Structure 1
Amino acid sequence: MTGTFSQIYIQVVFAVHGRNSLISLTWEEELYKYITGIITHKGQKLIAINGMPDHIHFLIGIKPSCCLSDLVREIKKSSNEWINAKGFSKTKFKWQDGYGAFSYSHSSLNTVINYIQKQKDHHQKKTFKEEYFDFLKKFEIEFKDDYLFEWIE
């Protein structure tokens, strides 16, 4: 019997609406567990997750049948509702529209995992805007400034 065999690894990056620093150290670990649950429930594999008060990164192994945009939409929608229901944010929490998705080979996984795990160290030297533009350039993704995140200058 024939089967489908694949290795598809995607790093997803998205920000809090308005780039507000609303993700608190006091509950970010719970948020990451919640997002892990969504990904697992959808039959995908979370490999690494971390972030900053204004954005998150996660690396997933996805099956070819997975529609990435549907998965990200569900993660954002469900985690918005969960954060607001828990009352973690003093203002209404919402993720910003859009996201970045960057693919990697199996041989790059350790580097990407390390990068995600060291987000807080990394952002002492580089802003989220610089980081995101670096991703777009590295992956040769054409973009218009009008369609990028709202940036805090």
Structure 2
Amino acid sequence: MGQSLVEIYVHLIWSTKERIPFLNDNYLRNQLHAYLATACRSRDSPAQIVGGVEDHVHLLCRLGKSTDIAALVRDLKRETSKWIKNADPPCGDFQWQQGYGAFSISPSHLDKLTQYIAHQEQHHETLSFEDEFRRLCVKYRIEIDERYVWD
């Protein structure tokens, strides 16, 4: 086959360090989400949607054919950390947690997940980030060690 064709979607999730609510300002959060979308596009992994609440981010993107997920997340977190520390007003103490979650998504589930990410504020009125992440890990049959998953 002379052409490489890839259609892989991934749902990425990561939080602020110790879930400190650095992103409680809606304007700052929306700017961060736009910045993440632009950064994904520049890495040949266009974001379908970026969302989240004051202490974490959800990002649904289509991976580029040569994209390494770990490198993508590392670069996105590094760039956004620099950006947010220089935002107006600056968040000089801002940090992301070390880890992340990456979950594969079937194209047939994109609409449902897009709606889920779009309604994060309503969703988190009754569910913590930790419980949400635990539920996703159960759904994907991923065992987590509670001693190390939260930082």
Interval containing the TM-score (normalised by the shorter chain): over 0.9
Q: How far apart, in 1, do the equivalents of 2:145 and 2:32 lie? A: 31
Q: How far apart, in 1, do the equivalents of 2:139 and 2:90 lie? A: 34
Q: Tell me the CA shift for residue 91 of structure 1.
A: 4.7
Q: Which has the higher contact order (CA 8 A, sep 6+)?
A: 1
Q: How far apart, in 2, do the equivalents of 1:146 and 1:95 lie? A: 18
Q: How far apart, in 2, do the equivalents of 1:73 and 1:31 lie? A: 16
Aligned AA (1:18): E
Q: Which residue is equivalent to 2:10?
A: 10
Q: How far apart, in 2, do the equivalents of 1:77 and 1:129 lie? A: 23
Q: Tell me the CA shift for residue 87 of structure 1.
A: 4.5
Aligned AA (1:17): K
Q: How far apart, in 2, do the equivalents of 1:93 and 1:104 lie? A: 30
Q: Deviations over 1:69-97 (max 9, x none)?
A: 10100110010011111254555111011
Q: Tell me the CA shift for residue 43 of structure 1.
A: 1.1
Q: How far apart, in 1, do the equivalents of 2:20 and 2:82 lie? A: 17
Q: Which residue is equivalent to 2:137?
A: 136
Moved more, 141-150 or 129-138: 141-150
Instruction: For 1:58-137, list aligned pairs within 5 A.
Output: 58-137=59-138
Q: Tell me the CA shift for residue 63 of structure 1.
A: 2.1
Q: Tell me the CA shift for residue 120 of structure 1.
A: 0.4
Tell me the SS of whatever aligns to 2:94: coil
User: Normalising by the residue count of structure 1, what TM-score does the alignment of the two structures yield?
Assistant: 0.93
Tell me the SS of whatever aligns to 1:40: helix
The answer as to whether partners of 2:14 and 2:56 remain within 8 angstroms in 1 is yes
Structure 1's unaligned 5+ residue stretches are none
Work out the percentage of aligned pairs sharing the same amino acid: 27
Q: Deviations over 1:4-43 (max 9, x none)?
A: 1221000000000111001121211111111111111111
Q: How far apart, in 2, do the equivalents of 1:135 and 1:90 lie? A: 30
- CA RMSD between the two structures: 1.3
User: Normalising by the residue count of structure 2, what TM-score does the alignment of the two structures yield?
Assistant: 0.94
Q: Tell me the CA shift for residue 3 of structure 1.
A: 1.1
Q: How far apart, in 1, do the equivalents of 2:40 and 2:91 lie? A: 27
Q: Deviations over 1:124-148 (max 9, x none)?
A: 1211111000000000012211221
Q: How far apart, in 2, do the equivalents of 1:88 and 1:112 lie? A: 32
